[in-house]
A and B are shown apart, each in its own frame.
Chain A
């Protein structure tokens, strides 16, 4: 046993590397074989597949269906399917208009199989995929898990978490808080429960959850080292986060519901922030905490989910006039509230997320730059005019010149990271966690010190893999809502990660946002799991995601094709 624990400093990074690598291969390798929802037969008989619920038809090469002919506008029209299988055609301000069955139409117009749809001078025939078409297609598509077994990866993760938990328990055996081994055991149980639910829903994609649980395990290790008494709270929040993950994921299946929820979500986000602003007292510089019944709670974390919900949009809205204005005002209000709370880091996170959403919605750098000049400038002036933030900028890059003032946290983080080397001093053997808030703001240093630089960098890598996966999924997502929401979510996670890690290492200004899932902090844990649901909803690989409906089963009794 003792040998196992002393070897764990090599085994843990090795297991971590294999886990992250297996997930990355499964998530990122190979070309996506897309879903097919219908076809458009062009003059001359060429058939173009409609691979999403939202398809742009136009002369431009970036259209989903490219039509030749001078009478066709660059972005001419859109063919949009709703969750119920009803198709409409939309004229996207084209010059020569759209005709259905020979008649010119203006607003969204319903179409069915066999209808002719004329874009400018080009007449096409529309065919919707039938349920049996969809089933056939589904059979031929590659499923995740076929090449990289998710259960084997999860077993490796179980081993990782068990060994990690064991190491932390062994490091403090005399004064062991019984909550620590219990928390690790329940964590392992929770992983397998989530996996069981996934498999019972006939879904085989589990890489996202595996990476999230990997990071959560490391986060539990940090908590076990710095605040073992808090691990129960962490566990409760994890459970809440996983429930939220399923709740959001399942509601995202229904695009009609999602559309309806956008405005209430925006209102809820602003209400949360307003409530925060009115009730919170200033704690440690930032007024971003509220206390309810002895439990501290950070509303701005949950606002991230509202922000993504209201920022993402379906394709028909992308081409509506001034579609960004409402979102721009909402973003300005959000960033403004955070500035008023002196939560500079979170304001920056929302701001970067705003830029990505604005770009994905408009596709125009001009719009982004313009709004960057508007909201961003005003908000940043408001934020940076505060003296203690100016102080941070003054120390930035010169931490070693002010090791007991503005560079206090950064110098300690760098020193701790160097102490740990590649393999760490051992679980529970670090000392950085004695510094206030080290397990949130300087968590990269805590992980590097105790578990080694390899594992700390693997945590960063895991989130980068999730981000790349979101980008890859974006192309196959059924609606642009899912694509934008997934990208917005990973932008929030990545920006937090960048500010947290490189702020604590004096490469960026020190801001004090959390490292998603690794930093200790209940609200952040809940919100991050919530955000991951958006990534799950963009994953349109066959039978990958519970947040996406499968084609309806055949009515007749068949012999259990899905086993």
Chain B
């Protein structure tokens, strides 16, 4: 069997889950009003903040990832795991953590106050960008770090021996192949931002397309306009993807022997500064969340634990599905698989959920479908990250060992097992960890489908928040963060066992 065949089926499934669900929503529409003036303002703001957030996140990630790539120190592996944490935080939890540090009564404002300065005003368009950088800097750093680690150690040795400029000869070609993809992914994540933009945006100036979708679906029940707005998001996605892939230059330098990289270039102090600054920026809000949650641990009702168990089960299934889907897409060359690998990022979870509801409702009671559908949708949301991480690794493994494998007549399943999978261990571990953590923290579509007693941990946390129990909710948030991080660490670690 050809290795590219399952990719076609998966691409079809992704298109069904994104464009198909949109179609289902449009099909149920009884009437449609066009886009209003306010919608265009929302589109402008959405694009503006997404571009800025993507550029800043990736721009700051370059020095941080380079510093992490070329320095070895005690605790580096733990730090790399922890630095990934903000990306997998549930939005409301992360925003509250950020406010504890940067809010009007936050640590920074208190500090400014003792110096006689006015408090920090985080609310506004810049607050939205700050929060998006907080979320996505870790992701950008990890994506670039993978790029750096993929440059074979032999190259650096050779460059050091010859006194050749590492930046121009080795790093710049790698960045040219990785940066456009990273920019695209973060742009698309910020494109569908909803709660961050609202809470930190400070008012209706910071209205995003996703909010307009929410309003037209929930309050107006205008399914036609909902579908139109969702289509706008996909159009923006397609335009951004075309642009990003247009400027990507594949890195075709061949492979090495997977040795540990030793570096002789760069300033030790500057690298320490970048790592220190990123750690402070990313870890302070996390500490605030832990601090808030640890005291209220005993306040948590027992239902939280049952919800946690359900969430872990869903996360494991999602991670397995997401890896199967992502690998299938990564093994299939061509535009269809590429498109299917980014489209889920631009999908509005609310539209996907509603569309699936319309599709599933005639056959299965929504309550019965709640957990399977949540696992499937969470897997879909993680596929783009999996593809971004796996596709370059597959390409490189093929570039290095492809000809030998051809000569030996290895194909199909055996080629995957013998040639590819051993080289995909690290990216697979990372991507599976990411998928499990994303699924863990995402509210997903369960709120739309939930029947009696089917709550996942994020839903349970929202329910606690919704009935004045902020203390218990803070405890649940800490449990959620801890479990997400633990899942991420186990997979990521599993993928790295091979190296020393």
Bound together:
no
Q: Which A residues lie at the B interface, using CB under 8 A?
A: none
Q: Which B residues lie at the A interface, using CB under 8 A?
A: none
